[in-house]
Amino acid sequence: MINQATKVDVLKQGSHEFATMRRLAMRFRGILRGL
């Protein structure tokens, strides 16, 4: 059983990675649209 602190850390890290992926995807879409 995972304790609460570890779960929160994992969620924070996951959301950070998700935000980075979204930013990259938006930039990539912008580049494709510009072509």
Per residue in 8-30, pLDDT (tens digit) is 887 788 888 889 999 999 999 99
User: Any idea what the Cα angle at residue 13 is, between residues 11 and 18, rounded to 5°?
Assistant: 90
> So what's the pLDDT on residue 21?
93
pLDDT at 1 over 80: no
> So what's the pLDDT on residue 2?
67
> So what's the pLDDT on residue 14?
81
Q: Which residues contact 2 (CB under 8 A, 6 or more apart)?
A: 10
Q: CA-CA distances (angstroms) from residue 1 to 15, 16, 17?
A: 22, 24, 24
> So what's the pLDDT on residue 9?
83
Domain ranges of the chain: 4-33
pTM (2 d.p.): 0.52
> So what's the pLDDT on residue 10?
79
